[in-house]
Structure 1
Amino acid sequence: MSRRARAISPDSFTGDLFSIPRAAALIEGSMDYRRPVSALVSQMLADATASGIDRYEVASRASRLTGKDVSKAMLDGYTAESREEFNVPLWVAPVLETVCSSTLLTQWNAGVRGGRFLVGAETLDAEIGRVSREMDSAAAQLKQLRDLRRRVP
């Protein structure tokens, strides 16, 4: 393997950092996201329970934050894949993420739309990468211009 190939080969820490996200295909009937949303809300609530916050507490905190009633029964409904007409409303999603200390729904939504959600240090790393690529491109362009200038009398 060449030095260059080793330098750009992925490692266990980088993951798919350089893969290009793509929006979901526009195929009729393929964008019924009720089940994956229910599964994600269920996972968020399970993670919150594992960290010591049960559904009653999640409901209580969400109610206080929104000023609207969010009950444990509503949370149960949001996580039940069988209740197809009872999915988490968009206005509740960020509140549940906040209460559960999660970004699962936001990450999923960004992925479905062809993007990637970066938080904290990841955001800075992405910006450092972008600026570095711009600098490399500018350096290559400057080199070409200097080479061209040497040839012009």
Structure 2
Amino acid sequence: MSKRRASINPDQLGFTFDPPPLARRAADLAGMDKMIAASVGLALKEDGRSREEIAGAMSALLGEQVTKLMLDAYASEAREAHNISAARVLALIAATNRFDLLDAMVRRIGAALLVGEEIRTAQLGHIDTEIARLKAKRREVAGVTVPIRGGRQPRPPVVPGRAGAGAFGRRPWPLWLPLLARAPADARHGGGRIS
């Protein structure tokens, strides 16, 4: 008779930076109840305290009675009618400090678990990502910038097609000035006579 494959492999526990795939396909979560029962069993087995003591710690956390017999049932993969509730799974994880087991569970749905101050490591990575994004944006903007003028602003240029109109529609010179520049010398000075 072949040995039954374990629902959870203790050698594969521990945080990794490999992004888990999201559970989206049919049967992605098949066998999850057995994995949770195996996780309960592993947490109880490797804790070092008796199941009565662990049940007492869980009871204190939850504010409700958890017994050794309940833990025995939750740890049995064969007893499908005695699945542990989410609240009690979390209480067991907190009481036994086995966040690696919870991480293995949430990875089945495509998530990962950070505990306590580990969030600072994620925050640092987020800050570095934001710095890189802002540097890239800075390079993009730097390629199209011009220096900002200081002091007094120069007079705006004449807009083509507006017959010499300057700022606010004013004409910076009289209309007759360009005509005078093109007129013959004697016409400009009244035919050469000084009056």
State the TM bucket, normalised to the shorter chain.
0.7 to 0.9
Higher Cα Rg: structure 1 or 2? 2
**Match for residue 146 of structure 1 among 142, 145, 159:** 142
CA distance in 1, matches of 2:74, 2:100: 15
* TM-score normalised by length of structure 2: 0.60
Q: Write out aligned runs for 1:8-27 (5 A).
A: 16-17=16-17, 19-27=18-26
Does the residue aligned with 1:114 lie in a helix, a strand or coil? coil
Q: Write out aligned runs for 1:73-88 (5 A).
A: 73-88=69-84
Does the residue aligned with 2:105 lie in a helix, a strand or coil? helix
CA distance in 1, matches of 2:28, 2:104: 19
Q: Write out aligned runs for 1:70-149 (5 A).
A: 70-149=66-145
**Could you say which structure has the higher helix fraction?**
1
CA deviation string 1:54-111 (max 9, x = no partner): 1111112222333322111111111111111211111211211121122244313321
Deviation at 1:34, TM superposition (A): 1.2
What is the alpha-carbon root mean square deviation over aligned residues? 2.1
For 1:142, give the aligned amino acid.
R
Q: Which runs of 5+ in 2 are unaligned?
A: 1-14, 147-195
For this pair of structures, how many residues does the alignment match? 132
Moved over 4 A (4+): none
* TM-score normalised by length of structure 1: 0.75
**Which one has more relative contact order, counting CA pairs under 8 Å at least 6 apart?**
1
Contact 1:47-1:100 within 8 A present in 2 as well: no
Aligned to 2:36: 37
Identity of aligned residues (%): 24
